[in-house]
Amino acid sequence: MMTNKTVAVIGGGPAGLMAAEVLSQAGVRVDLYDAMPSVGRKFLMAGKGGMNITHSEPLAGFVSRYGARSSHIAPMLDVFGPDALRAWVQALGINTFVGSSGRVFPEDMKAAPLLRAWLHRLREAGVKFHMKHRWCGWEGGDLRFETPDCLVVVQSDAVVLALGGGSWARLGSDGAWVPLFAGRGVAVAPLKPANCGFEVSWSPYFAGKFAGEPMKSVTVSFTDSKGILHTKQGDLMVTEHGVEGGLIYALSALLREQILAEGSALVHIDLLPAKSLSRLLGEIAHPRGSRSMSSHLQSRANLKGVKVGLLREQLPREDFDLPEKLAAAIKSLPLTLVATRPLDEAISTAGGVVFEALDERLMLRALPGVFCAGEMLDWEAPTGGYLLTACFASGRRAGEGLLAWMKQEK
């Protein structure tokens, strides 16, 4: 037990709360600080459509979802991976189930009961919560916080920083810590939007008529700079500014990097992936008589609404009279993405504290006794439970790493 030691945990998301749990269970006195009036705000928002806590796919595939940072995330998941996370949720008195997509949810699909049970356990373990405390850097070796009333300076034996990325600033993740780290010589990769929407130069007519319309059961294909073809099937959403949704999020890292390198990214959309080109051609080449083209496409190919609107947006009018060109466009409609949507709109953040600035315990090499966890680290992952799982796992790694460091420093 280390009851004579005090640790400050800054950030009340899953990573910070998990670090606080590990430390408090070891007898460390933990003070948790957060800039918001309550903790877990982004966690609660993420659970509004159903709390996707993790994913059930085999661990090897699970780890691969972290791309270039898989080798850094893998050791954390070996200790606290998706199965361990489900067991941990169960220990809070909340059952989980695997959905048809392989995603794992609490039985009631809600985030709030899980968070309430967790906070109760943390308070019982002695964790003290300090809300409306915005961390604003160091004063010598001490921590400085802005509160509604005054500036507060705090001493602690060590600190875990779990400050989040740069998306959803209204919930506390505003990236304001980046210049503070730069001032201390800590390398930070620029924050970029991940799992984000993209901008398309829609006509005012198309944006006004179809913004907010879902485009169901389409396939998006994209060939990256190495000539590798990436294809995903699912749903996307037309927005006033472009496109977003799960199908786009799954390709967002590749598309973002292509736009950064080339200024735009060209994707192709198969509006009717269930139909072959030859079958589709036969259907739309059928004489339409006096029917409008919209009626013809709906009756012969079950193509209507926003999908027909997108065809009219992208194709010259004369191509609608040429069945071969029209069928080819329906099966592979080019769409140019010109920019990512702003960072604050993104579901998550790429970039952050580079792993090379950290040791294996997630302690900053330049600042002994300062540990980092969660989305402020330089990694990204798709939606589907991968983001949350790595936040939990990194918070646990930081807490355990801090305990090991304290024992070493005794």
- pLDDT tens string 153-192: 999 999 999 999 999 888 888 999 999 999 999 999 999 9
CATH homologous superfamily of 6-193+351-409 equals FAD/NAD(P)-binding domain (3.50.50.60)
Mean pLDDT, the chain, rounded, equals: 95
Task: Name the least confident of 22-26, 218-222, 283-287.
Answer: 283-287
**pLDDT-derived band at 3, boundaries 50, 70, 90:** low
Tell me the average pLDDT across 323-338.
Answer: 95
Collect all residues with Cβ–Cβ distance below 8 Å to 399 and sequence separation of at least 6: 18, 19, 20, 21, 22, 23, 160
What pTM was computed for the model? 0.92
Q: Please state the length of the chain.
A: 410
pLDDT tens-digit map of 189-224: 999 999 999 999 999 999 999 999 999 999 999 999
Q: pLDDT tens digits, residue range 37-48?
A: 999 999 998 878
Domain ranges of the chain: 6-193+351-409, 198-340
CA distance 348 to 386: 11
pLDDT at residue 2, rounded to an integer: 55
Q: State mean pLDDT over 261-280.
A: 95
Kindly report, residue by residue over 75-110, the tens digit of the pLDDT.
999 999 999 999 999 999 999 999 999 999 999 999
* Gap between the Cα atoms of 306 and 384, Å rounded: 27
Neighbours of 147 (CB within 10 A): 14
Q: List C-alpha distances in Å: 238 to 37, 167, 178, 381.
A: 34, 21, 33, 23
Q: In angstroms, rounded to a whole number, what is the distance separating the alpha carbons of residues 163 and 8?
A: 13
- Interior/surface letters 207-240, b for 16+ CB within 10 angstroms, e for the rest: beebeeeebeebbbbbbeeeeeeeebebebbbbe
Helix 306-314 to helix 293-301 angle (10° resolution) is: 120
Evaluated on CA atoms 26, 30, 34, 38, the torsion sign reads positive
